[in-house]
């Protein structure tokens, strides 16, 4: 008697496709829904960086309302491949929305944004009254 390996799956290739990590977008879809963020507190400003590769600066909508910075983006893509015996069309849609409550120390009028190499950067300057003040020098009397 010998051991026989049985595969009880009805459609093994379909099951392999379903169990792949990228089914329904998988981890990549999760990352595009919630782009990772770095926030750094400097002496004169806050620096905010979002990792959102594969987009253009026109894809972003940035608003500030009642000390809440909201960043949204929607991208729709359509790809069509025509060959002699078939046509394949693929659609892709991704969007995200991130909101950050700004501290009262941020000077909203001076906020600047840039997008380069897949990184969306914000510089959030602090108000003058919140900047560290130099220590007062004490004069030596005679």
pLDDT, tens digit, for every residue of 32-71? Answer: 467 899 999 988 899 999 999 988 999 999 999 999 999 9
Structural contact between residues 111 and 124, judged by C-beta atoms closer than 8 angstroms: yes
Q: What pLDDT, on a 0 to 100 scale, did the predictor assign at position 3?
A: 57
When pLDDT is cut at 50, 70 and 90, the band that residue 73 belongs to is: very high
Q: What pLDDT, on a 0 to 100 scale, did the predictor assign at position 18?
A: 54
In DSSP terms, 96 is beta-bridged to 73
Structural contact between residues 50 and 36, judged by C-beta atoms closer than 8 angstroms: yes
Please report whether residue 110 resides in a domain. Answer: yes
Please report whether residue 23 resides in a domain. Answer: no
For residue 44, the domain's CATH number is 2.60.40.790
Please report whether residue 10 resides in a domain. Answer: no
Please report whether residue 39 resides in a domain. Answer: yes
Q: How many domains does the chain have?
A: 1
When pLDDT is cut at 50, 70 and 90, the band that residue 87 belongs to is: confident
Domain region containing 78: 35-129
Please report whether residue 3 resides in a domain. Answer: no
Please report whether residue 2 resides in a domain. Answer: no
Please report whether residue 111 resides in a domain. Answer: yes
Q: Which residue shows structure tokens 């959102």? A: 52
- Residue 23 pLDDT > 90, yes or no? no
Instruction: Round to whole Å and give the CA distance between 62 and 123.
Output: 13
Q: What pLDDT, on a 0 to 100 scale, did the predictor assign at position 15?
A: 53
| Both structure tokens of 88 | 């394949």
Instruction: Tell how strand 60-65 and strand 45-51 pair up.
Output: unpaired
Please report whether residue 48 resides in a domain. Answer: yes
Neighbour tally for 32: CB within 10 Å: 20
Instruction: Round to whole Å and give the CA distance between 109 and 98.
Output: 20
pLDDT single digits (tens) 92-131 = 788 899 999 998 889 999 999 999 999 999 999 988 877 7
- Residue 26 pLDDT > 90, yes or no? no
């Amino acid at each position: 008697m010998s051991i026989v390996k049985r595969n009880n799956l009805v459609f093994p290739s379909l099951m392999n496709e379903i169990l792949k990590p990228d089914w329904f977008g998988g981890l990549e879809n999760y990352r595009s829904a919630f782009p990772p963020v770095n926030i750094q507190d400097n002496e004169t400003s806050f620096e905010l960086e979002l990792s959102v590769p594969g987009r253009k600066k026109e894809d972003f909508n940035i608003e500030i309302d009642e000390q809440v910075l909201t960043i949204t983006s929607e991208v729709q893509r359509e790809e069509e491949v025509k060959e002699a015996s078939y046509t394949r069309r693929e659609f892709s849609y991704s969007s995200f929305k991130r909101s950050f409550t700004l501290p009262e120390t941020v000077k909203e009028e001076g906020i600047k944004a840039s997008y380069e190499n897949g990184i969306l950067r914000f510089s959030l300057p602090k108000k003058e009254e919140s900047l560290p003040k130099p220590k007062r020098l004490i004069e030596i009397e005679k």
